[in-house]
Amino acid sequence: MRFPARGLYAITQTDHKSADLIINEVIAAIKGGAVVVQYRDKNPSDAIYLASELLKVCHRSNVPLLINDDVELAANIGADGVHIGKEDGAIAQARLHLGEKAIIGVSCYNFVDQAVDAERQGATYVAFGRFFPSTSKPLAAPAQLETLRQARLKVSVPIVAIGGILPDNGGQLLTAGADLLAVIGGLFENDPKQSALAYQTLF
Protein backbone atom coordinates (compact mmCIF):
# COMPACT_ATOMS: atom_id res chain seq x y z
CA MET A 1 0.00 0.00 0.00
CA ARG A 2 1.26 3.45 -0.91
CA PHE A 3 2.10 6.12 1.63
CA PRO A 4 -0.24 9.11 1.17
CA ALA A 5 1.21 12.34 -0.15
CA ARG A 6 -0.81 14.59 2.15
CA GLY A 7 -3.24 14.47 5.04
CA LEU A 8 -3.86 13.56 8.67
CA TYR A 9 -1.55 10.93 10.18
CA ALA A 10 -3.18 9.29 13.23
CA ILE A 11 -1.00 7.82 15.99
CA THR A 12 -2.75 5.60 18.52
CA GLN A 13 -3.19 6.71 22.11
CA THR A 14 -3.13 3.48 24.10
CA ASP A 15 -2.45 4.24 27.78
CA HIS A 16 -5.21 3.00 30.11
CA LYS A 17 -7.42 2.02 27.16
CA SER A 18 -8.83 -1.37 26.23
CA ALA A 19 -8.09 -2.94 22.85
CA ASP A 20 -11.74 -2.50 21.84
CA LEU A 21 -11.65 1.21 22.65
CA ILE A 22 -8.41 1.73 20.72
CA ILE A 23 -9.84 -0.11 17.70
CA ASN A 24 -13.08 1.91 17.79
CA GLU A 25 -11.15 5.16 18.11
CA VAL A 26 -9.07 4.30 15.04
CA ILE A 27 -12.23 3.44 13.08
CA ALA A 28 -13.66 6.83 14.05
CA ALA A 29 -10.45 8.68 13.11
CA ILE A 30 -10.44 7.05 9.67
CA LYS A 31 -14.11 7.99 9.19
CA GLY A 32 -13.08 11.54 10.00
CA GLY A 33 -10.42 11.51 7.29
CA ALA A 34 -7.16 10.08 8.70
CA VAL A 35 -5.11 8.78 5.76
CA VAL A 36 -2.49 6.75 7.65
CA VAL A 37 -2.40 5.10 11.09
CA GLN A 38 0.58 4.31 13.28
CA TYR A 39 0.24 1.79 16.09
CA ARG A 40 2.30 3.21 18.96
CA ASP A 41 2.11 1.42 22.29
CA LYS A 42 4.78 1.82 24.95
CA ASN A 43 3.14 -0.70 27.34
CA PRO A 44 1.49 -3.36 25.16
CA SER A 45 -0.41 -6.23 26.74
CA ASP A 46 -1.19 -8.12 23.52
CA ALA A 47 0.48 -6.25 20.68
CA ILE A 48 0.00 -8.97 18.07
CA TYR A 49 -3.77 -9.12 18.63
CA LEU A 50 -4.28 -5.36 18.68
CA ALA A 51 -1.98 -4.65 15.74
CA SER A 52 -3.65 -7.41 13.70
CA GLU A 53 -7.11 -5.99 14.40
CA LEU A 54 -5.96 -2.47 13.53
CA LEU A 55 -4.52 -3.79 10.26
CA LYS A 56 -7.94 -5.22 9.31
CA VAL A 57 -9.64 -1.94 10.20
CA CYS A 58 -7.15 0.10 8.19
CA HIS A 59 -7.20 -2.13 5.12
CA ARG A 60 -11.00 -2.08 4.96
CA SER A 61 -10.63 1.64 4.30
CA ASN A 62 -7.47 1.37 2.16
CA VAL A 63 -5.42 3.12 4.85
CA PRO A 64 -1.86 1.92 5.58
CA LEU A 65 -0.95 0.75 9.09
CA LEU A 66 2.55 1.39 10.36
CA ILE A 67 4.12 0.01 13.53
CA ASN A 68 6.16 2.25 15.80
CA ASP A 69 9.72 1.02 16.43
CA ASP A 70 8.99 -2.71 16.15
CA VAL A 71 10.12 -4.26 12.87
CA GLU A 72 9.48 -7.79 14.19
CA LEU A 73 5.85 -7.00 15.02
CA ALA A 74 5.37 -5.34 11.62
CA ALA A 75 6.73 -8.45 9.90
CA ASN A 76 4.64 -10.81 12.08
CA ILE A 77 1.29 -9.22 11.25
CA GLY A 78 2.07 -8.10 7.69
CA ALA A 79 1.81 -4.39 8.46
CA ASP A 80 2.44 -1.89 5.68
CA GLY A 81 5.61 -0.61 7.32
CA VAL A 82 7.32 0.88 10.35
CA HIS A 83 8.28 4.18 11.87
CA ILE A 84 11.76 4.16 13.38
CA GLY A 85 14.15 6.47 15.19
CA LYS A 86 17.32 7.58 13.45
CA GLU A 87 19.89 4.84 13.92
CA ASP A 88 22.61 3.86 11.51
CA GLY A 89 21.62 0.80 9.53
CA ALA A 90 18.07 0.78 10.85
CA ILE A 91 16.52 1.69 7.49
CA ALA A 92 18.42 -0.98 5.57
CA GLN A 93 17.64 -3.53 8.27
CA ALA A 94 13.92 -2.72 8.20
CA ARG A 95 13.89 -2.84 4.41
CA LEU A 96 15.59 -6.24 4.44
CA HIS A 97 13.07 -7.55 6.95
CA LEU A 98 9.90 -6.06 5.48
CA GLY A 99 10.61 -5.98 1.76
CA GLU A 100 11.01 -3.40 -0.98
CA LYS A 101 7.38 -2.23 -0.88
CA ALA A 102 7.30 -1.55 2.88
CA ILE A 103 6.73 1.99 4.10
CA ILE A 104 9.63 3.13 6.28
CA GLY A 105 9.36 6.41 8.13
CA VAL A 106 12.20 7.98 10.08
CA SER A 107 12.22 10.48 12.94
CA CYS A 108 14.61 13.34 12.15
CA TYR A 109 13.67 15.58 15.11
CA ASN A 110 15.03 19.02 14.11
CA PHE A 111 17.84 17.92 11.77
CA VAL A 112 17.54 18.43 8.02
CA ASP A 113 20.82 16.57 7.41
CA GLN A 114 19.32 13.46 9.03
CA ALA A 115 16.37 13.71 6.66
CA VAL A 116 18.63 14.00 3.62
CA ASP A 117 20.58 10.98 4.86
CA ALA A 118 17.39 9.01 5.57
CA GLU A 119 16.07 9.64 2.07
CA ARG A 120 19.40 8.54 0.63
CA GLN A 121 19.14 5.31 2.62
CA GLY A 122 15.67 4.62 1.27
CA ALA A 123 13.21 6.12 3.76
CA THR A 124 9.66 6.51 2.44
CA TYR A 125 9.05 9.64 4.48
CA VAL A 126 10.79 11.78 7.10
CA ALA A 127 9.29 13.22 10.29
CA PHE A 128 10.19 16.33 12.28
CA GLY A 129 9.05 17.49 15.70
CA ARG A 130 7.90 18.29 18.26
CA PHE A 131 6.69 21.68 17.04
CA PHE A 132 4.43 22.60 19.95
CA PRO A 133 4.20 21.50 23.61
CA SER A 134 2.95 17.92 23.68
CA THR A 135 1.39 15.79 26.39
CA SER A 136 2.35 12.62 24.51
CA LYS A 137 6.01 13.56 24.22
CA PRO A 138 6.59 16.23 26.89
CA LEU A 139 10.38 15.80 26.98
CA ALA A 140 10.94 15.78 23.22
CA ALA A 141 13.28 18.50 21.97
CA PRO A 142 11.53 21.31 20.08
CA ALA A 143 11.75 21.67 16.31
CA GLN A 144 11.62 24.89 14.29
CA LEU A 145 9.48 25.99 11.36
CA GLU A 146 12.69 26.84 9.51
CA THR A 147 13.60 23.14 9.62
CA LEU A 148 10.50 22.36 7.55
CA ARG A 149 11.35 25.13 5.08
CA GLN A 150 14.88 23.81 4.61
CA ALA A 151 13.73 20.19 4.39
CA ARG A 152 11.24 21.13 1.69
CA LEU A 153 14.17 22.35 -0.42
CA LYS A 154 16.38 19.34 0.21
CA VAL A 155 14.22 16.21 0.28
CA SER A 156 11.66 14.90 -2.18
CA VAL A 157 9.93 12.33 0.06
CA PRO A 158 6.84 13.35 2.07
CA ILE A 159 7.48 15.38 5.24
CA VAL A 160 5.56 14.65 8.43
CA ALA A 161 5.28 17.13 11.32
CA ILE A 162 4.47 16.02 14.86
CA GLY A 163 4.07 17.44 18.35
CA GLY A 164 1.14 19.28 19.91
CA ILE A 165 -0.55 19.88 16.55
CA LEU A 166 -4.12 21.21 16.64
CA PRO A 167 -6.47 22.46 13.92
CA ASP A 168 -5.63 26.05 14.89
CA ASN A 169 -1.82 25.71 14.69
CA GLY A 170 -1.31 23.05 12.01
CA GLY A 171 -1.73 25.38 9.05
CA GLN A 172 1.61 27.11 9.64
CA LEU A 173 3.38 23.73 9.50
CA LEU A 174 1.82 22.93 6.13
CA THR A 175 2.74 26.39 4.85
CA ALA A 176 6.34 25.88 6.00
CA GLY A 177 6.66 22.59 4.14
CA ALA A 178 4.98 19.69 5.95
CA ASP A 179 2.82 17.33 3.88
CA LEU A 180 1.22 15.36 6.70
CA LEU A 181 0.34 16.24 10.28
CA ALA A 182 0.84 13.46 12.83
CA VAL A 183 -1.50 13.72 15.79
CA ILE A 184 -2.10 11.76 19.01
CA GLY A 185 -3.75 13.83 21.74
CA GLY A 186 -5.47 16.32 19.47
CA LEU A 187 -7.22 13.39 17.83
CA PHE A 188 -7.88 10.89 20.59
CA GLU A 189 -8.54 12.98 23.70
CA ASN A 190 -12.01 13.87 22.43
CA ASP A 191 -14.34 12.40 19.79
CA PRO A 192 -11.84 11.07 17.20
CA LYS A 193 -14.17 11.39 14.21
CA GLN A 194 -15.10 15.00 14.96
CA SER A 195 -11.50 15.81 15.84
CA ALA A 196 -10.26 14.32 12.56
CA LEU A 197 -12.87 16.27 10.61
CA ALA A 198 -11.65 19.49 12.25
CA TYR A 199 -8.18 18.93 10.75
CA GLN A 200 -9.51 18.37 7.23
CA THR A 201 -9.96 22.08 6.51
CA LEU A 202 -6.16 22.46 6.78
CA PHE A 203 -5.67 20.25 3.74
Residues 196-201: contacts with CB under 8 Å, at least 24 apart: 196/8, 196/10, 196/28, 196/29, 196/30, 196/31, 196/32, 196/33, 196/34, 197/32, 197/33, 198/167, 199/8, 199/32, 199/33, 199/167, 199/170, 200/8, 200/32, 200/33, 201/167
107 labelled catalytic: yes
Catalytic residue among 6, 17, 31, 137: 137
What is the crossing angle of helices 112-121 and 90-98, to 10°?
40
Q: Is 137 a residue of the active site?
A: yes
Active-site residue identified among 40, 95, 130, 193: 40
Catalytic residue among 95, 107, 134, 193: 107
Which residues are annotated as catalytic? 40, 107, 137
